[in-house]
Amino acid sequence: MISIEVDSRAVKVAEGCTIKEALESLGFEIALHPAEKGLFMPCQTGGCWACAVDVDGSLAPACATSVSQGMRIMTGRERMTVPSIKEGADDIEKAGAPKEPISSCRSGSDLTPKRLVGGFLGHQAGGVGTPWWLKGGSIEVACFTAGCNLCCPQCQNWRFTYAGSLTSSSFGFQSSATSSTSDSAASLPSPPSQSLTTLLTPEQAARKMTAARRRFAVDRLAVSGGECTLNRPWLVEFLRLLRKMNPAAHLHVDTNGSILTRDYIDELAEAGMTDIGIDLKALRTATFMEICGLVDEPLAEMYLETAWRAVRYVHDSYPQIYLGVGIPYNSLLISLDEIIAMGRKIAEIDPWMQVCVLDLRPEFLRDDLIRPSFWDMMQVHYNLRDCGLLTVVCQTEKGKVGPSGRLVV
């Protein structure tokens, strides 16, 4: 055991444990959704820094920082907790993630929000929230944030998602992926190079993004991941600074929508967000859990319901924001019947909503997957159009298929 100080109280904790583990041993609750009570630690791989606490005057991620003798930790618990939400989907929307960073500031402390970010390059394809008709060279500049609250075993961008992981054991902290996939998928890949990302403040990231916009001569700036919404103070300030530095640019947020409560969406819109792409993943909780590698069913239900409600709220409350939704497809992960049911539900919200269907390829832990054929994706396209959807776009092995059913070249 070693002696440390937590919120000005002397305590003893196990030597070699992380700050998160130490706080849990002291009775602190850990939250994975804004509706839960506790210290918000959504990724637990060291990527998003949403769990950062004040350690001797500087921020450090609680999930990936080991305790040491004499360490002084200030959790800012009064601002990191939210009321406990017990019942009702509407109640989930009344809760919000903490709007401000750690509150326990000592004189001279450096508690500016930080996050691991990489990319800052031209992007030719865009995301599900990029207007489908844009084409030709780089259509936007994108940065990618490390850390995600989901554990998708077929993650298509895992090298950025897990760029903050210290070891391969950090992958899939709550995933059941290895129990449901092939033997080859059960062996975790080596951790991605941490050189993919850099720990940046919102201002540092905004300046890099602005420089990249000028270099690639585009008027669209996108932030993706991983999951970019996990560190709320960082993202909101990043968008505000981007808007200040790039008054006429489109600001695009690419997200899984799983923690986008109404008040969070309001704050992003106020900060300058003009476009948003929300990846819905599934309609049924069981499918969502399979695709996202989750084993906690109540948590999965909250994530899935929050994402669907986010789509409805953005559509109804912010008609000026360009909204696109993503649907993943691979017959090993989701049935065509469920895709059709998703299409019908989206059509009830708005038949003109842009729907991008992503063909999930063998990647990360799921090298057993077979990429859907061009005609598999065309079948999805035809069925979604039959649901009444008028702006269906499909990612295929031959390229992007637009609403007309023809390749966009």
Centre a 10 Å sphere on the Cβ of residue 85 and count the other Cβ atoms it contains: 19
| Token pair of 39 as six digits | 């210290």
Q: Which domains does the chain have, with CATH numbers?
A: 2-94 (3.10.20.30), 115-401 (3.20.20.70)
Sort strands 39-40 and 9-13 into parallel, antiparallel or unpaired.
unpaired
What is the DSSP track for 175-235? --HHHHS-TGGGSPPPPPPGGGEEEE-HHHHHHHHHHHHHHHT-SEEEEEES-TTSSHHHH
pTM for the full predicted model: 0.88
Centre a 10 Å sphere on the Cβ of residue 286 and count the other Cβ atoms it contains: 11
Tens digits of pLDDT across the chain (409 residues):
999 999 999 999 999 999 999 999 999 999 999 999 999 999 999 999 999 999 999 999 999 999 999 999 999 854 343 333 233 344 444 444 444 433 333 434 578 899 999 999 998 888 999 999 998 789 999 999 999 999 999 998 998 898 876 443 444 444 444 344 334 334 555 555 556 889 999 999 999 999 999 999 999 999 999 999 999 999 999 999 999 999 999 999 999 999 999 999 999 999 999 999 999 999 999 999 999 999 999 999 999 999 999 999 999 999 999 999 999 999 999 999 999 999 999 999 999 999 999 999 999 999 999 999 999 999 999 999 999 999 999 999 999 999 999 998 6
Closest by CA position to 395, among listed 324, 332, 335, 338: 324
Strands (E), 211-321: 220-225, 250-255, 275-279
Angle in degrees, 0-180, between the axes of helices 297-317 and 285-292, rounded to the nearest 10: 100
